[in-house]
Amino acid sequence: MKLFKLMAATAAAAILLATPAFAQTRIALVVKSLGNGFFDAAAKGAEEAAKEIGGIELIYTGPTAATAEAQIEVVNSLIAQQVDAIAISANDPDALVPVLQRAMQRGIKVVSWDSGVAPEGRQIHLNPSDINLIGETIIKLAADYLPDGGDVAILSAASTATNQNAWIEAAKKVIPEKFPKINLVATVYGDDDSVKSTEEARGLIAAYPNLKAIIAPTTVGVVAAAQVVTDQHLIGKINVTGLALPSEFKQFIDNGASQAVALWNPIDLGYSAVYLANDLIKGEEAKPGATFSIGKVGQVTLDDNNAAAMAAPFQFDKSNIDEFSKIY
Ligand code: RAM
């Protein structure tokens, strides 16, 4: 009898020891494309949240090129792996809906963050900040240094990117009323690819000789544009601005290719996306008005589209870029 009890206890202990490996909750952080410093910073926050919550395996993944087709393949493979949740920054609001619906039908929780998926393709969307505020901010960043106004152009990410398209639309709306001297001459797309963004920036400069500012609401595009302005000795003639990761962009504030840029904390964004995914895994229901905890960042309340927004963007210039460049 004693021996039997001992054997049973040993077996139970063996099961307990083995359980954590199997019981891990797996959350996939799917980004627009790998090799983007903004997403690496978000993954850092996601990893931090996973550790804090405990029992979570974080899968940081995404395609090499920022396209919806490539992301569909990534999501298909995550469905096959039966992950518990997918937190995605999408390259297209609609193209990913069918595959994400399939994921949800199989019990996988789906959150979009940074760049959203249409409401029918996800349970929650987390915006880094208010869309209209970001739209106004990117124009103001250019206008602040153009007292007499002038020609400006936008260098965006992928032409289908949900977030950039929403910000550009909001920016266009605010120009006539608040920035009437700003003349937006073109919007081009660098696909969050350094080579394509460089070509597009060169193209803008060649096509618009009176260009006074390039606004790139993408951390990849803004670096490419500032490098082109530097290389073509146009510092002081064309101001590059937009949304930039301080650690990558500091050199262009230092050399004068840019006066100021803005962004939010990408670490907090990735961190919060994982908390939201985990809240859904725990059984919390996503519905308008529901409040979700996002750990040390606080909490968010869902709007009528089950979307929420985090804080206002910060502005970076000579006075503070050094400090922030050490963080993200
Ligand atoms: C790029 C990506 C990302 C966007 C930032 C500002 O890294 O396009 O989606 O939020 O820029």
Q: Please, which pLDDT band fits residue 208 given cuts at 50, 70 and 90?
A: very high
How far does residue 256's CA lie from ligand 1's centre (Å)? Answer: 23
CB 260 within 8 A of CB 243: no
Give the Cα separation of 121 and 98 in Å (integer).
7
pLDDT one-digit tens code per residue, 281-311: 999 999 999 999 999 999 999 999 999 999 9
- Tell me, which fold does domain 131-263 have in CATH? Rossmann fold (3.40.50)
- The topology under which CATH files domain 5-128+265-310 is Rossmann fold (3.40.50)
Same fold, 5-128+265-310 and 131-263: yes
Average pLDDT over residues 32-45: 98
Q: From atom 10 of ligand 1, which residue's Cα is the shortest distance away?
A: 114
Q: Please give the residue that has the higher pLDDT: either 21 or 262.
A: 262
Q: Which residues contact ligand 1 via a Cβ below 6 A?
A: 32, 36, 38, 89, 114-115, 157, 163, 192, 218-220, 243
The pLDDT value given to residue 1: 45
Choose one of 92, 154, 163, 263 to mutate for the ligand 1 pocket test, by most ligand atoms within 8 angstroms of C-beta: 163
Query: What rounded mean pLDDT belongs to the chain?
Result: 95
Strands 124-127 and 109-113: parallel
- Strands (E) in 14-108, as ranges, are 25-30, 56-61, 85-88
Distance in Å, CA 69 to ligand 1 centroid: 18
pLDDT (average), residues 188-204 = 98
What pLDDT score was predicted for residue 8?
Answer: 52
Pocket test for ligand 1, best of 89, 113, 115, 219 (most atoms within 8 A of CB): 219
Could you tell me the distance, in angstroms and rounded to a whole number, from the CA of residue 191 to the centre of ligand 1? Answer: 10
Q: For the chain, which residues make up each domain, given as ranges?
A: 5-128+265-310, 131-263
HEC states along 245-303? CHHHHHHHHHCCCCCCEEECCHHHHHHHHHHHHHHHHCCCCCCCCCEEECHHHCEEECC
**What sign does the dihedral 47-49-51-57 (CA atoms) show?**
negative
pTM for the structure as a whole: 0.93
Q: What is the pLDDT of residues 217-265, one digit of tens each?
A: 999 999 999 999 999 999 999 999 999 999 999 999 999 999 999 999 9
Per-residue pLDDT at 16 exceeds 60: no
- Please tell me which residue, 231 or 2, carries the higher pLDDT value: 231
Give Rg (Cα) of the chain.
22
Testing ligand 1's pocket by substitution, the residue of 71, 114, 156, 272 carrying the most ligand atoms inside 8 A of its CB is 114
The pLDDT of residue 9 is above 90:
no
